[in-house]
Amino acid sequence: MARASLAPMIAAVHHGLPTRPAVTNNFKSLDRRKFNKDGSPRATRRADGKPSIAFSDIDQPVKRAHTYLQAQIGAGMKNNNLQPAEFWSLLWGLFTSAKLIYLGIASLMAERQPKRLVIPAAILSRALLEALGNVMGLVQDPANHTVLFTKDGYLNAWRQVQQLRPYADGPEWKEWAAEADAKLEQFGRRAGLSMEEMANPQKLIKEWPRMGNIFRPNGLLKGDRAGAFGLLYTLWYKNLSAFAHQRIAAAAQAWVMEEGDLPFDMELAVSNVFFAAAMSMAAILSEIQVTGSFQARPDLPALWTILERHHPTARRLMALRYAKVLGIPVPPEP
């Protein structure tokens, strides 16, 4: 067990758990039900005095904003009022995927679960941050970046087929190979690829940038959009990636949660993952609202106001971008 003694310190780095008593600046997400499952009274405030926030306080404006934008995008695409059509089709897909990821994060960490699954939720939170980066990349230059995003999709599909070809040498694979080639050709033609690009995409098609490059000086994102994503990436992406790639941070966190003999602050771990997800979701909804020039509603300003009251990163995001584009007063420094 000597090696296991490293686990609490490694986990502390990745989820903000102090290794000794200390005043922290982290916050928690708490369901304020008055009774436990067994009927006993349930405490709604922490003994250490850290501020609490009900999940529904954030979830309700997220749901209202999503429902409104879903209706606006659906109607606009049906009436051909949202152009370019291919751009909005991609944006619709990412918008829908982001909501499903967000729901998955909330479900994995819900108190009704026999075990609150923080590590899988952290992995999904990273995916939600990537969804934000892709949404921002598309809306930065809809016409050109839609072409880049679509061609990159063809390149990845082509690579998957090529990886399987060495194993597809038996007669049972002939039908699969013919169908795969036909689907690739159909995809390429719809994406507007030349015959040369379809035949040699690895050489001729430029890849969509990785998240670590998308906000850099020569990346796709510009101005305050690059600044906002860069802030979230710097604060959370590498930590969340350590869980997604199952590096030592994931092993250490699991050990501390399941086997460790030191106190583990589950509410704090849940809070860190949830706030990362909530801010990514708020930014995705805001980017789509601004891009579509949809009629302003109070849901997004209410969501950002709640977030900035409980987390300093939300205040910085508002100051960088979202107070300006949504017409919300910039919150004063505390």
Query: From first to last of its 334 residues, what are the pLDDT tens digits of the chain?
Result: 344 444 444 455 555 433 333 333 343 444 444 455 555 444 455 555 555 667 888 899 999 999 999 999 999 999 999 999 999 999 999 999 999 999 999 999 887 778 888 899 999 999 999 999 999 999 999 999 999 999 999 999 999 999 998 888 888 888 888 899 999 999 999 999 999 999 999 999 999 999 999 999 999 999 999 999 999 999 999 889 988 999 888 888 888 777 766 566 777 778 888 889 999 999 999 999 999 999 999 999 999 999 998 888 999 999 999 999 999 987 677 6
Contact 95, 128 (CB under 8 A): no
Token pair belonging to 87: 């751009």
Q: Count of CB atoms within 10 A of residue 221's CB? A: 22
Which residue, 89, 125, 164, is CA-closest to 281?
A: 125
Task: Return d(Cα 158, Cα 165) in angstroms, integer.
Answer: 11
Token pair belonging to 177: 């190979």
Which residue, 102, 79, 101, 82, is CA-closest to 92?
A: 82
**Position 173, amino acid:** W
Phi, psi of 53 (to 5 degrees): -145, 135
pLDDT of residue 21: 33
Q: What is the dihedral of CA 54, 227, 104, 85, to 10 degrees?
A: 120
Task: Return d(Cα 318, Cα 332) in angstroms, integer.
Answer: 11
Task: Return d(Cα 104, Cα 81) in angstroms, integer.
Answer: 32
Buried b or exposed e, range 261-275, using 16+ CB within 10 angstroms: eeebbbbbbbbbbbb
Query: To which residue do tokens 């999904």 refer?
Result: 124
Task: Return d(Cα 31, Cα 53) in angstroms, integer.
Answer: 8
Which residue, 317, 138, 334, is CA-closest to 235?
A: 317
Token pair belonging to 165: 């070809």
Which residue, 327, 314, 312, 309, is CA-closest to 281?
A: 314
Tell me if residue 331 falls in helix, strand or coil. Answer: coil
Measure the CA angle with vertex 80, ends 78 and 85; round to 5°: 100
Query: To which residue do tokens 């499952």 refer?
Result: 37
Task: Return d(Cα 143, Cα 132) in angstroms, integer.
Answer: 18
Altogether, the residues listed in the chain come to a count of: 334
Task: Put residue 49 in one of left, alpha, beta given phi > 0 → left and psi -120 to 50 → alpha.
Answer: left
